[in-house]
């Protein structure tokens, strides 16, 4: 039985995974959604990685699934304990020693986001509805209001403490309609930083909320972890 360690992005709310977790369990797997203290000024990436490691203590077949900023935590988890695979979902892919605060400029994310906004005809100013909730059922989004919290500066300032990307099977997957990290950006970063192709699933930046069934099917299809990484149909 595989244990999926589900790591959220900025803010750290385990709630983000609440629609995927039961679907993975229905498929016969174990799933652990890790709540991270995004609003704790004393907690950074080392603390985040420690919480994930503690959450899956005693499990032997662990797949770390990291959303967005969770991409900085995932390789640090793999550096601390054995994992079977890493899945990067609409994720920031760090270089060794890089900070999340430095990543934006290093990969040119703003230029790609703005170009996509102009091409798509939506606002260039980042707001919650346009960039994160545009494909999420309003009823689902409303239940998340109680779980929202800010991500304080510390996690953006602490480096990704790895010497190299962990030698474990890694897959990069993007939501086809991600407006915050457009597919073109994610494809380039995955290729340049990890030498990987990019898989594409339905949904935007919060694909686990908008298309949980499709994402769950992808995660299950990605097993066994030794399956080859390939570039799926581009959008």
- pLDDT for 222 equals 79
Give, in order, the Cα–Cα distances in Å from 108 to each of 112, 151, 191: 7, 21, 15
Query: What letter would DSSP give residue 146?
Result: G
Q: Count Cα neighbours of 229 within 13 Å in the Cβ-side half-sphere.
A: 19
Q: How is residue 168 written in tokens?
A: 């474990």
Q: Is 171 exposed, middle or buried (0-12, 13-18, 19+ CB in 10 A)?
A: buried
Sorted by where each starts, the structural domains of the chain and their CATH numbers stand as 3-221 (3.40.50.1820)
Q: Is 15 exposed, middle or buried (0-12, 13-18, 19+ CB in 10 A)?
A: middle
Tens of pLDDT along the chain (235 residues)?
Answer: 899 999 999 999 999 999 999 999 999 999 999 999 999 999 999 999 999 999 999 999 999 999 999 999 999 999 999 999 999 999 999 999 999 999 999 999 999 999 999 999 999 999 999 999 999 999 999 999 888 888 999 999 999 999 999 999 999 999 999 999 999 999 999 999 999 999 999 999 999 999 999 999 999 997 754 433 333 433 3
CA–CA gap between residue 193 and residue 129 (Å, rounded)? 30
Residue given tokens 């990484």 in the structure block: 229
Residue 224, preceding peptide bond in cis (omega within 30° of 0): yes
């Amino acid at each position: 039985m595989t244990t999926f360690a589900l790591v959220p992005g900025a803010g750290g709310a385990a709630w983000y995974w609440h629609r995927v977790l039961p679907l993975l369990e229905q498929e016969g797997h174990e799933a652990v959604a890790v709540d991270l203290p995004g609003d704790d000024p004393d907690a950074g990436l080392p603390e985040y990685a420690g919480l994930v490691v503690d959450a899956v203590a005693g499990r032997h077949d662990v797949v770390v699934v990291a959303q967005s900023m969770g991409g900085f935590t995932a390789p640090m988890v793999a550096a601390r304990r054995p994992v079977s695979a890493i899945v990067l979902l609409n994720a920031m892919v760090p270089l060794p020693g890089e900070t999340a605060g430095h990543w934006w400029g290093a990969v040119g994310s703003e230029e790609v986001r703005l170009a996509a906004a102009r091409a798509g005809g939506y606002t260039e100013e980042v707001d919650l509805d346009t960039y994160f909730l545009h494909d999420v059922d309003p009823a689902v989004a409303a239940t998340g209001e109680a779980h929202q919290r800010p991500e304080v500066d510390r996690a953006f300032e602490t480096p990704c403490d790895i010497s190299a990307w962990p030698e474990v099977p890694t897959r990069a997957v993007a939501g086809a309609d991600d407006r915050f990290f457009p597919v073109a950006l994610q494809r380039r970063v995955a290729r340049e930083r990890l030498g990987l192709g990019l898989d594409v699933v339905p949904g935007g930046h919060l694909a686990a909320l908008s298309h949980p069934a499709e994402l769950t099917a992808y995660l299950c299809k990605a097993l066994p972890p030794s399956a080859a990484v390939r570039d799926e149909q581009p959008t």
